[in-house]
Chains A and B, each alone.
Chain A
Amino acid sequence: MKKTLKYLSAVAALALVTGVAVAPASHAAKIKACVVLDTGGVDDHSFNAGAWAGAQSTSAIADVSYLPSSSAADFAPNIKKFLDQKCAIIIGVGFSISGEIVKAGKANPGTKFAVVDDSAMDCNADYSVCNAVANVKGLTFSTDQAAFQAGYLAAGYSKTGTVATYGGAPYPTVTIFMDGYAKGVAYYNKAKGKNVKVLGWDPVKKTGTFVGDFSNTSKASQLSQGFEQQGADVIMPVAGGLGGSTAKESQTSGKSVTIWVDTDGYLSAPQYGSVLLTTVAKGLGAAVKSVITDVKKGTFTGSAYVGTLANGGVSISPLHDFASKVPSRLQLEVKMIGRQIASGSLKI
């Protein structure tokens, strides 16, 4: 017993001594870019992963590091930790961290901040007055523009005259997809004099179908089956990783196709490639990368970044396997609509 302890303390002491001696050297030329993740974790195949990949792509000019959050209680201490480490820019991922980032931004005007998926405004208690903060940049995405194209495509592709969508939870970043999608279908109906129905979202009443979270795969499959039974043959799940449940349902039943969201599913989830009509893509990584690059170049400003079709921040992915199955006329129309939205001649 005594002998064991002696060895242990020797090893521990050695470890501590060598540990202090080999502390990592700092790279003076690089800036320090720090990312606080949402509760989804770094490998959620969705927006945390996308934002972190964007940060990692700047490793030539920045030392990047991240901290995961297991609940909202971790946000403030994680930000504080990065403040103590003198990060040049602290990027919060997800709109639920926005409040804490804004608070930190106001208290630390010398540090730069950004929030992915929120406008990061400083609002009063009842949200009636909101102001921008000079050192906090909000990165938001007009995903409804690309979703509008996807809705038009879905309506044109549907044989049954019924398409569907559902969300993970009624967050504004989720419903904006569903809104654009439903409006795209409505636009198709008006242009073609058709009556394609949308299940799962009512753009007037702002109500729709939701799983309740972003992890309940059985509920997601259930919803997808329900939509198929009601005749929907195109389904757009806006629920992060749950999209896989719908794509799987499409594969097994053969009754529907799936529209993916966030990152081109044909590339990020190739196992579902055969049923993915297209993807409503959101350029999270590119936005994060440009923020870090701006900080390095000294051109960072707090003015909001809004990803649109015009600046490439949002887009509709190539049809891949479906390029031969979708009438070329419809493909052309979808492209035209995209151009019209980008130029501002078509208002959603």
Chain B
Amino acid sequence: MKKVWTRIAGSALLPFLSFLLAFIISGFFIAFSDATVLKNIGHPGKFITSALSTVGNAYLALFQGSIFDPNLTAGHGFMRGFYPLSETIVTATPLILTGLAVALAFQSGLFNIGAQGQFIFGAIGASYVGFHFTFTPVLHVILAIVAGVLCAAIYGGIVGLLKARTGAHEVIVTIMLNYIAGFFILWILKTTAFLRPRRIDPIAPEVNPSAQLPHLAGENFRLHAGILIALVAAYFVWWVLNRTTVGFQFRAVGANASAAKTAGISVSKVTIWTMSLCGALAGLGGAVHVLGSQYALTADIGGSFGFDAITVALLGRAKPFGTVLAALLFGALRTGGRTMQSNTTTPLDIVLVIQALIVLFIASPTLVRFIFKVKNLKTNAAMTAKGWNG
């Protein structure tokens, strides 16, 4: 048991230290972008206290806005204080799924930048089945999700097919397909099949109540069943990778494609399967996002879920469990940033700085090792490099 814990601590050390460094450096940004702090720059004592209180307030608001806010409990009971946590989970749910789509690709040596496009196709499929048909509640949700997953699996599969048959690099292909998905949704929202009646701006009708994912904690919280789906998906990915022959083949190709080929594994088959499965995961994210919290398809439904997914997968070291944690962290930063901006004067954009710094440090373990004087810092450099060498 002790061995397991040391292993977890070992692999979590780099993300944790990167996280810490990112927060410290962002603290400087927060302090130096604040008008009152800058006003005191001539008086060292006053400057330091005002800088510390500004940064402290900002991070306190970040916590209040993402985990627990005592101000919300008044008149609503203690549990209402956890409303921010429920919002964190709602934001993290699609991120977990898109993150898994990138992580799984990493595991078999592919760099999936196309989670954004796959997410959009998943959302389109789920939305169409959601608003266009009426079925009995449980069946309707399942059918809508399946439709989204299928659309996205095919969209992801195209990448695998192109790579396997023609050798086209998946990075280029997925980037291009993201553009296609972005313009496709703009176009499809203008067609009579999708455009909401009496509207001319790109928005689809809301999905029928029978296709909406049930709320988990009552109507006061937006928390929906999507998080359960995401956790099951994470377990599924872990199970496939570690407990099945297919998963072994995925990892074998990821570790060394030539060796895997010599051992009799069909690399092209694995590529097609991986990309379809990645597409399915990202599409599930899109479906859950539409059926769980948005209900109506809009042109910007994809947000930046597909791009943040790359960061999330990197932070989670391309492991399913790590990806879940990383997505929750990003969800917390996003929701907390909102409170930070409205309670203090610190702009929401500082969250993007924190995110970017985390990635920067994770990608440069030597720097982290140097700063903290840690010797045996476990890195996963192979993972990041493999994607490019394909």
Q: Complex formed: what's the CA distance from A186 to B60 in Å?
A: 60
B303 touches A71 (CB 8 A): yes
Give the contact stretch, choosing among B109-117, B136-144, B194-202, B317-325: B194-202
A169 touches B201 (CB 8 A): yes
In the complex, whether B348 has a CB less than 8 A from a CB of chain A is yes
Q: Complex formed: what's the CA distance from A166 to B31 in Å?
A: 44
User: Closest residue to A175 on the B side, CB-wise?
Assistant: B200
Q: Complex formed: what's the CA distance from A84 to B57 in Å?
A: 18
In the complex, whether B217 has a CB less than 8 A from a CB of chain A is no
B300 touches A8 (CB 8 A): no
A19 touches B56 (CB 8 A): yes
List residues of chain A with CB within 8 A of the CB of B348: 67-68
Give the contact stretch, choosing among A75-83, A235-243, A258-266, A289-297: A75-83
In the complex, whether B205 has a CB less than 8 A from a CB of chain A is yes
User: Closest residue to A21 on the B side, CB-wise?
Assistant: B53
Q: Complex formed: what's the CA distance from A73 to B119 in Å?
A: 14
A15 touches B56 (CB 8 A): yes
In the complex, whether A148 has a CB less than 8 A from a CB of chain B is no
In the complex, whether A212 has a CB less than 8 A from a CB of chain B is yes
Interchain nearest-CB distance for B255 vs A (Å) = 32
List residues of chain B with CB within 8 A of the CB of A95: 201
B342 touches A70 (CB 8 A): no
B32-71 Cβ-contact flags toward A at 8 Å (1 or 0): 0000000000000000011011011101100001000101
Interchain nearest-CB distance for A201 vs B (Å) = 14
In the complex, whether B363 has a CB less than 8 A from a CB of chain A is no
Give the contact stretch, choosing among B151-159, B333-341, B378-386: B333-341
| Known pairs A67-B348, A85-B342, A212-B186; A72 contacts B200 (CB<8 A) | no
In the complex, whether A332 has a CB less than 8 A from a CB of chain B is no
User: Closest residue to A23 on the B side, CB-wise?
Assistant: B57
B338 touches A16 (CB 8 A): no
Picked from A1, A70, A169, the residue with its CB within 8 Å of the CB of B303 is: A70
Interchain nearest-CB distance for A225 vs B (Å) = 22
In the complex, whether A96 has a CB less than 8 A from a CB of chain B is yes
List residues of chain A with CB within 8 A of the CB of B342: 34, 65, 67, 81-82, 85
Interchain nearest-CB distance for A296 vs B (Å) = 20
Interchain nearest-CB distance for A172 vs B (Å) = 6
| Known pairs A20-B60, A72-B300; A15 contacts B55 (CB<8 A) | yes
Q: Complex formed: what's the CA distance from A87 to B304 in Å?
A: 29
A6-42 Cβ-contact flags toward B at 8 Å (1 or 0): 0010010011111111111000000000100001000
List residues of chain A with CB within 8 A of the CB of B49: 18
Known: A1-B372, A15-B27, A71-B300. 18 other contacts (CB 8 A): A14-B52, A16-B56, A16-B60, A19-B52, A22-B57, A67-B348, A68-B348, A71-B301, A72-B301, A73-B301, A74-B338, A77-B87, A81-B339, A125-B206, A126-B197, A127-B196, A171-B201, A172-B201
